Amino acid sequence: MTFSNSRNGHSLHLAYFSPESFGGLADYAREQAQALSAAGARVSFITSPSVAKVQQNAQYKLVPILAEVPSRSESRNRWSRRLRSMSWIVGNMRRLAEWVEREQVKCVLLGAYMEYFAPLWAPQFLRLAQKGVVFGSVVHDPLRNFIVGPLWWHRWSTACGYSFLREAFIHEPIDLPTVRPQPQLCTTVIPHGPFRFPAATESRSAVRQRLRIPEPAQLLLAFGHIRDVKNLDLLLEAMVQRPEFYLLVAGREQGASQRPAAFYQQRAAALGIADRCRWETRHIPELEVGNYFEASDLMALTYGTGFRSASGVLNAAVHFRKPCLASSGLSNLRTMIEKYALGFWVEPDSALAIADGLQRWLRERPAADWKRYAEDNSWKRNAELVLGRFSPEWQS
């Protein structure tokens, strides 16, 4: 299906806002923008210069007007980090609003819903919405667990973040906690397509030899940002009971609000399993990702009850056909694992449940339906649903 205006033959012009430089949100934005372009939309990808440099072959138009993500090393204390973060967010939202108004774009998609400091920047978007600009956002994390400031500020910010949106795109049916009634807001469930990565540049045995992992060992891969909600401490406790498993943690630390890698390394040492853990605590370049998936046997997605979202790591695992041991609250992650048998789902926040899941993996293998997952959760379908909500009359 191609989206074009049947009256004048012009394609829908969509501004896509993506301030993240790398990580799951950046990967999602890139894939979705490509799909929207392939569906016939004229996409202007609002991003930073560093992102634009590495996306020269993109089908969409790169508009590198955003400030770069602040470096953590430049922020010496919590208040300095918050000030820099506020300046970055508010400044980038101002740049987006000014560009939309200057270019007279009528459709804007935020790659991820954001409420942080929204009372400071949302009014300019509300004014644009009142002038006829249609705003939408992909709401990856409907339940906002990371709170900035006191609760009253968080609730005000959340309401402001939704105040100008007409379209919210979610990955699992849920009543969005908008704080205040938002009668203009429509929600649409869209699939989270699988991520694509370059093929591995090293063989399984070569990677394992480099990481000092015995060939007979079952290798768990915990990939992506190191976050408290991933329950790495409980995974380590479960490994005490399952000596067949080694663990590879590959990803950078999330930030000062989350436990650092050193916490988990110390925990592994206290449990007596440090010799079975490997740590690559850095941003993993795209060309290296395949090597770690190639060496692994099972993905560890042991989220806590508070996780109610889709998982970007799951969609990386789908690309590499790697089964997952997963836990979470009611979420798209659980739905996908169980519906397509992409691995084993266990009760969240329990080291015993994780250990039982590891034991189950030693006994059996899930009959994963990778093909049906790819068919049902394609980027093509994602783009069709998004564009149809922005302007149904553009469909042909």
Q: Report the distance separating Cα 275 and Cα 212, nearest Å.
A: 10
Question: pLDDT exceeding 90 applies to what percent of the chain?
Answer: 76
Query: Residue 14 in contact with residue 36, Cβ under 8 Å?
Result: yes
**DSSP secondary structure code for residue 11 in this structure:** B
Q: 118: which 2 tokens?
A: 């929204």
pLDDT confidence tier of residue 202, bands split at 50, 70 and 90? very high
Whether 320 and 237 map to the same domain: the answer is yes
Whether 208 and 318 map to the same domain: the answer is yes
Whether 216 and 183 map to the same domain: the answer is no
Q: Please give the residue range of the domain that contains residue 81.
A: 13-191+378-394
Whether 45 and 175 map to the same domain: the answer is yes
Least confident stretch, 48-62, 146-160, 234-248:
48-62
Structurally, the chain folds into a number of domains equal to 2
Residue 3: inside a domain: no
Whether 274 and 344 map to the same domain: the answer is yes
pLDDT digits (tens, 9 = 90+) for 344-395: 999 999 999 999 999 999 999 999 999 999 999 999 999 999 999 997 654 4
CATH of the domain at 148: 3.40.50.2000
Residue 4: inside a domain: no
Predicted model pTM: 0.85
pLDDT reported for residue 56:
67
Q: What is the mean pLDDT of residues 26-51?
A: 93
Q: Residue 238 above 70 pLDDT?
A: yes
pLDDT confidence tier of residue 76, bands split at 50, 70 and 90? low
Q: 185: which 2 tokens?
A: 């807001």
pLDDT digits (tens, 9 = 90+) for 295-321: 999 999 999 998 888 888 999 999 999
pLDDT reported for residue 392:
67
Q: Report the distance separating Cα 69 and Cα 32, nearest Å.
A: 21
Whether 285 and 180 map to the same domain: the answer is no
**Cα dist. 176→134, 136, 155 in Å?**
19, 14, 13
**Which among 356, 352, 314, 355 has a CA at the least distance from the CA of 331?**
314
Q: What is the mean pLDDT of residues 337-346?
A: 96
Whether 161 and 233 map to the same domain: the answer is no
Q: Residue 9 above 90 pLDDT?
A: no
Whether 182 and 244 map to the same domain: the answer is no
Query: Residue 385 in contact with residue 188, Cβ under 8 Å?
Result: yes
Residue 45: inside a domain: yes
Q: 175 vs 110, which has greater pLDDT?
A: 110
Average pLDDT over the chain reads: 91
